[in-house]
Amino acid sequence: MRSFTIVLAFIAFACHANDPDAFIPDRQTLSVVSYEEISYLPYGLAITVRCAVPDPCWKFDGASVINDDSTVVGTVYGRPKGYVPCPASPSFLDVTVEWPGSVPGWYTFQFWHDSTTTVDTIFFYDP
């Protein structure tokens, strides 16, 4: 019975080790480096930002946009596309985040850059 348990444990580990997604880290906050475009939608704004990623094999994995009076705070998330060989060269990923809009007026958009800084822009919203 003991050898049977060891064999099952080995099989479970071996299958997990061959799983291409087994070593993909959880999603991470991406560093926004610039605003590329802000455009109107029928219900708000589309904000395209450029994010720095460790290599070109990263993908967009969601965003959060929080309204706080006249300040809109955004965070962009990403993760590696999977276990694929990828050149270890810093790269950029352009991401479009939608903001549902609010009352007309001036808004400051702040996107996370690093632990102490945000990338900001001021925009007049008039639906």
Note the pLDDT of residue 84. Answer: 72
Q: Are the C-beta atoms of residues 97 and 121 closer than 8 Å to each other?
A: no
Q: Are 32 and 50 in contact (CB under 8 A)?
A: yes
Q: For each of the chain's 127 residues, which pLDDT tens digit applies?
A: 554 444 333 333 333 444 444 445 678 999 999 999 999 999 999 999 999 998 898 999 999 999 988 999 999 999 988 777 788 888 999 999 999 988 899 999 999 999 899 999 999 999 8
Q: What is the pLDDT of residue 81?
A: 85
Q: What is the DSSP letter of 23?
A: T
Residue 23, token pair as written in the block: 């070593």
Instruction: Determine the Cα–Cα distance for residues 40 and 43; give it in Å rounded to an integer.
Output: 8
CB 43 within 8 A of CB 81: no
Query: Residue 91 in contact with residue 41, Cβ under 8 Å?
Result: no
62 contacts 44 by C-beta, under 8 angstroms: no
Identify the pLDDT of residue 10: 36
